[in-house]
Structure 1
Amino acid sequence: MERTVGMSRPELIQVADTVARDKSIDREEVFDAMEQAIQKAGRSKYGHEHDIRARIDRKTGEIRLARYLEVVESPETVENEFTQVPLAQARRKKADAEVGDFLIDPLPPIDFGRIAAQTAKQVIVQKVRDAERERQYNEYRDRLGEIVNGLVKRVEFGNIIVDLGRAEALLRRDEVIPREPFKVADRIRAYIADVRQEPRGPQIFLSRTHEQFMAKLFAQEVPEIYDGIIEIKAVARDPGSRAKIAVLSNDHAIDPVGACVGMRGSRVQAVVAELQGEKIDIIQWSSDPATFVVNALAPAEVAKVVLDEEANRIEVVVPDEQLSLAIGRRGQNVRLASKLTGWDIDILTEAEESERRQEEFHSRSKAFIEALDVDDVIAHLLVTEGFTGVEDVAFVDPLELAGIEGFDEDVARELQDRARLFVEEREARNQDRRRELGVSDDLATLGGLSGAMLVALGEKGVHSLDDLGDLAADELREIVGADAMDEETANAVIMAARAHWFDDEETGAAGAGEAEADAPEGDANEEA
């Protein structure tokens, strides 16, 4: 058993307990900070090159100071003579010493002078501050997404420093609802949007404009939301002006909109008051996109909706007198509805929709008349039955064509023959034009690109696989037409064009390896 030299200091235990309680950190962390401070003072007295360690007895406050020497195999393996000792020399002091053990030489407790005491104090203060920051980070990281209450401590260039009691948080000016008059000592409620560990300590970022701030306020006001009976499915906000919130009830007996509004509007008004008068539309959520969009555009009435799922776009037709209500002031209503539903929304009046349909009807009929050399009656029938282009006629099931009222199998067969001939001749013209523009055959056989697309690429200077591989998806879609190709297809085409780049790299690497293996032995020797 090692002999120790110590000095009992029961006041250290009182100090450690007081600091741990006041700073809300672990008592053991305070003792560790004290021990490091004493170690630093001891090294200042006995030499920084020595491995000097301090230990404070957690019950009596006794300080034990000692120098540690690591036992190594032999004198040749000693890297630092101040902290290591050879095995043979160690066994003179301790007969059972083994490699990896430590010889412990007790040192007399140091009498702290003014400089040593100041140094120890600085170390303790710094370590306690670090421990406090770590405690703050861990505590508020676990509270991410909660609403907290605090006091405005100071305002700096519009940014608000909030005192949360055991920490400070930052509410940036872009996270404050416009025209909110906060001043020092005001009570403030905000949403913990982010907690980050930074060099100057943990930073807690608050927000009053975040969508989830409103959702959490409703959860506090509406017990059914807190209990999980009502779900908040989506939120869209224009902070300080207007917001929309979509709710769903898991209990058919409970109306989610009525529960959120409350008796005489008491629940929603409490949230509105906290958000500085922000108008809130509470909407019934629906799994059907069309129904959800119609609900989201409230209070406007909707006459008809047309979905384009591939483009994630929905066309909404409203009565003429409802147009301004559906769009909202400066487009606010439709913008919030689009954000809430996740769909791009186009709004048309019934008159505009009728006019556009007529234009499409006439343009498609004209295209059929010119391409198929038919009269306007047949062209109108094709458009009415939903055929949008000559390709539809060329490759549709003949029975579907023959099933149109007024058509028979002979008419259907003749229309298909004419449509296929037109498509083939057009494709041949596109191929000739593609070759004139210098578009390579490799690019033409890539797949996913029609003859018209290849011509469009050639006219824009895209002539090879490398040229196409250098494009981004949005650039490719702009050239060939956004309606003709979606983003997923564009990315697939570009990756196919780049495939030979990776093949070339593999071939080059393999060729280099073969050349190295085939190098003449004499050359290798000469090079060596």
Structure 2
Amino acid sequence: VRVGDRIRSLILRVSAETRGPQIFLSRAHPDFMKKLFAQEVPEIYDGIIEIKAAARDPGSRAKIGVISYDSSIDPVGACVGMRGSRVQAVVNELQGEKIDIIQWSEDEATFIVNALAPAEVSKVVMDEEDERVEVVVPDEQLSLAIGRRGQNVRLASQLTGWQIDIMTESQESERRQREFAERTALFQEALDVDEVIAQLLVTEGFAAVEDVAYVEPHEIASIEGFDEETADELQTRAREFLEKEAAELDAKRKALGVEDGVLAIEGVTLAMAVALGEGDVKTVEDLAGLVPDDMRGWFETKNGERVREPGILETFNLSPEDAEALIMRARVAMGWVEAPPEPEYEEVEGEFEGEGEEASVEEPAAEISSEEEAQG
């Protein structure tokens, strides 16, 4: 850019400096592309169509998610224009930057599938707690879904706000087979049964020894080829295995120096106590001094890449709320904070609609204020 050039750009901000106001301009910001579309597409300017999200790799490629508030107007078609005239005007202004126009959807899974266009998606598995999604694509679509140097999946991730992991159908199949084999081997060892019985349990949806030990007996007895006697024997073996495992874990906890008080915190299991000990969290005070990310893990950007740092209790898949609750209970036990008051209930007389019979129901007598909850 040279003095005297006539350019279009977005005013990011105006900063008052000692030498006078400084105007900061950008042609790389996603909002610049949005404004260009508003100039070229009357429906966007009028508010009939809205650009809900935008992501750019400036000078190379961009994606926008659009929605129409008039069912008779196709938002993608309106943005493309007759023979591509509208989008081409924006492309020309951005010096050839390719733009994918995508139908925005309130259903996040659908929007993620749309955002990965032109690749086809076979399956989507979402982890809402970590805002992470696993996308399965046909083998021949892998390179298209990832894009050159990961550009397509990176832009789709920016557009949707989800961390997207892509795998092929064959990779997913291999993983399912591996999980099936691992669970089969676990049941063979823990329950001392042959491979056929172990495979039947896995096929019926049993994923852990605890599932077998504490499920209703009829759920095992109803498996084809099993009976009540078989169910009782399997549950007995499962409980014996868990008792033995618990004894071994408790011995390991003590060897690591994890105090009994940690195990006394509601929600802390023996396996968690061992993991905490391996993470050098050995007292209630140590536990109280943690933050949820210490338990669950977190993301850091290193050399431009988003890297996952594992947490102490990474393998336990704790939700943010569960992690926070464990820490708060430890802080209460240490006396650092007061336990939140229990809600009081009172009985009131009432009638079920249409029944005409008197009934006793419970309603909370008082609510906890947001300030009290924050203090708790």
TM-score range, shorter chain: 0.7 to 0.9
Cα distance in 1 for partners of 2:220, 2:166 equals: 34
Change (3 A) 1:483 1:437: closer
Cα distance in 2 for partners of 1:437, 1:313 equals: 34
> How many Å apart are 1:502 and its aligned residue?
5.1
Cα distance in 2 for partners of 1:193, 1:241 equals: 21
> How many Å apart are 1:422 and its aligned residue?
2.2
- What per-residue deviation string (whole Å, max 9, x for no partner) do you get for residues 335-356 of structure 1? 1111112222111112211111
The residue that corresponds to 2:317 in the other structure is 484
Cα distance in 2 for partners of 1:220, 1:299 equals: 26
The residue that corresponds to 2:28 in the other structure is 209
3-state DSSP of counterpart to 1:479: coil
- What per-residue deviation string (whole Å, max 9, x for no partner) do you get for residues 353-400 of structure 1? 111111111011101111122221222122222222112223334443
- What per-residue deviation string (whole Å, max 9, x for no partner) do you get for residues 387-419 of structure 1? 221122233344433443333444334333332
The residue that corresponds to 2:249 in the other structure is 430
Cα distance in 2 for partners of 1:367, 1:261 equals: 56
Give the AA of the match of 2:55. A
For residues 125-144 of structure 1, what are the structure 2 equivalents within 5 Å? none
Cα distance in 1 for partners of 2:218, 2:110 equals: 35
3-state DSSP of counterpart to 2:312: helix
Give the AA of the match of 1:331. G
> How many Å apart are 1:420 and its aligned residue?
2.8
The residue that corresponds to 1:241 in the other structure is 60
Contact 2:284 2:334 in 1 (8 A): no
Cα distance in 2 for partners of 1:504, 1:258 equals: 58
Give the AA of the match of 1:493. L
Change (3 A) 1:401 1:309: farther
- Is 1:498 the equivalent of 2:321? no
- What per-residue deviation string (whole Å, max 9, x for no partner) do you get for residues 44-86 of structure 1? xxxxxxxxxxxxxxxxxxxxxxxxxxxxxxxxxxxxxxxxxxx
Change (3 A) 1:482 1:366: closer
The residue that corresponds to 1:354 in the other structure is 173
- Is 1:308 the equivalent of 2:127? yes
Change (3 A) 1:389 1:213: same
The residue that corresponds to 2:183 in the other structure is 364
Change (3 A) 1:388 1:312: farther
Cα distance in 1 for partners of 2:159, 2:312 equals: 32
Cα distance in 1 for partners of 2:31, 2:111 equals: 20
Give the AA of the match of 2:44. I
Q: Which has the higher contact order (CA 8 A, sep 6+)?
A: 2
The residue that corresponds to 2:79 in the other structure is 260
The residue that corresponds to 2:197 in the other structure is 378
Cα distance in 2 for partners of 1:190, 1:397 equals: 67
3-state DSSP of counterpart to 2:67: strand
Contact 2:253 2:273 in 1 (8 A): yes
The residue that corresponds to 2:162 in the other structure is 343
> How many Å apart are 1:290 and its aligned residue?
2.4
For residues 32-181 of structure 1, what are the structure 2 equivalents within 5 Å? none
Give the AA of the match of 1:484. N
- Percent identity between matched residues is 67
> How many Å apart are 1:244 and its aligned residue?
0.8
The residue that corresponds to 1:467 in the other structure is 286
3-state DSSP of counterpart to 1:272: helix
The residue that corresponds to 1:276 in the other structure is 95
Change (3 A) 1:319 1:503: closer
**Structure 2 unaligned runs (5+)?**
297-310, 339-376
Change (3 A) 1:370 1:270: same
3-state DSSP of counterpart to 1:187: coil
Cα distance in 1 for partners of 2:2, 2:244 equals: 76
- What per-residue deviation string (whole Å, max 9, x for no partner) do you get for residues 186-226 of structure 1? 11222232344455554433222222221222122111112
Residue of 110, 114, 137 corresponding to 1:291? 110
Cα distance in 1 for partners of 2:246, 2:127 equals: 28
Cα distance in 1 for partners of 2:114, 2:181 equals: 34
Give the AA of the match of 1:436. A
- Is 1:184 the equivalent of 2:17? no
Cα distance in 2 for partners of 1:187, 1:483 equals: 58
- Is 1:330 the equivalent of 2:149? yes
Change (3 A) 1:455 1:273: same
The residue that corresponds to 2:207 in the other structure is 388
Point out the more displaced range, 461-470 or 320-329.
461-470
Contact 2:213 2:235 in 1 (8 A): yes
3-state DSSP of counterpart to 2:245: helix
Point out the more displaced range, 334-343 or 256-265.
334-343
Cα distance in 2 for partners of 1:367, 1:189 equals: 64
Change (3 A) 1:232 1:359: same
Q: CA RMSD in A?
A: 2.3
The structure having more radius of gyration, on CA atoms, is 1
Give the AA of the match of 2:263. A
